[in-house]
Amino acid sequence: MQLIDIGVNLTNSSFHDQQAAIVERAVQAGVAQMILTGTSLEVSEQAQELAGQLDPDGQCLFTTAGVHPHDASSWDGASDRRLRQLLAQPRARAVGECGLDFNRDFSPRPQQEKALEAQLALAAELHLPVFLHEREASERLLAILKDYRDHLPAAVVHCFTGERQALFAYLDMDLHIGITGWICDERRGTHLHPLVGNIPEGRLMLESDAPYLLPRSLRPKPKNGRNEPAFLPEVLREVALHRGESLEHTATHTTASARAFFRLP
């Protein structure tokens, strides 16, 4: 079985000087390709440099490039120009992580919306898919997306943790859905168990969101409590269980979806 992890924060400081070993463990665990998440212009640039260093042949590590809603207050006139340069690089396969976060509100909501709209417009112009973040903002995200969706090749709601109404609204807009180890959390993720079977094949993808969201069902757990892409098979196991599918079948269709979405070799 081959898996693709569509969201790895490999530039995170908790991975410092361990990235090569983390990628190697992932490959040994069956994670054949990984998308390194860009959450700011600086992090997006770091992700591209790291991907080039660890995977010089360009077959395993790819990136997104964008500005997370937490950093939306940094968006200015120069941001569009710099993001265009990052997205022109061959490793960059999607715009993002961009979106809305009305849970933490680290950036004012009007600035979040401004940065999101700018990145959606850029994705439409460059004909690139979008890697979306949403927390407690599904209605507003859908309202903004409505004006851009017909001009975007694809978009994924990364780390979906919402309720049935939001899921079906996203699916009605022909969005992809990313599922993380949140589904393995018996305290706050059990509502996803009956929902995940409603995601059609071709629209479902798997992600670790490492170093965050260590699957709570993982045994044994790492002593450092840090998630990494090598643990993606635990997310696969939980998703397959609640979809009533074999591990092989879920791995096959989620990998095919990710490969098509990010145009991977």
pLDDT in tens, 119-150: 999 999 999 999 999 999 999 999 999 999 99
- Rounded-to-integer distance, Cα 67 and Cα 44, Å: 8
Mean of the per-residue pLDDT values for the chain? 98
C-beta atoms surrounding 2 within 10 Å: 12
CA distances from 222 to 160, 228, 232 (A): 24, 10, 14
Residue 11 identity (one-letter amino acid): T
Residue with tokens 């809305």: 100
Q: Strand, coil or helix: what is 79?
A: helix
Please, what sign has the CA dihedral across residues 232, 171, 68, 102? negative
pTM value surpassing 0.95: yes
Of 77 and 33, more confident: 33
Residues 6+ apart with CB under 8 A from 33: 4, 5, 59, 60, 61, 62, 258, 259, 264
β pairing state of 204-206 and 176-179: parallel
Q: Average pLDDT of 74-98?
A: 97
Which residues sit opposite 64 in a β-bridge?
94
CATH of the domain at 64: 3.20.20.140
Look up the domain containing 180 and give its range: 3-261
Quote the number of domains for the chain.
1
Q: Mind listing the pLDDT tens digit for each residue in 30-45? A: 999 999 999 999 999 9
- Predicted local confidence at residue 252, as pLDDT: 98
Average pLDDT over residues 8-35: 98
Q: What's the rounded mean pLDDT across residues 95-110?
A: 97
Provide the pLDDT for residue 191.
Answer: 98
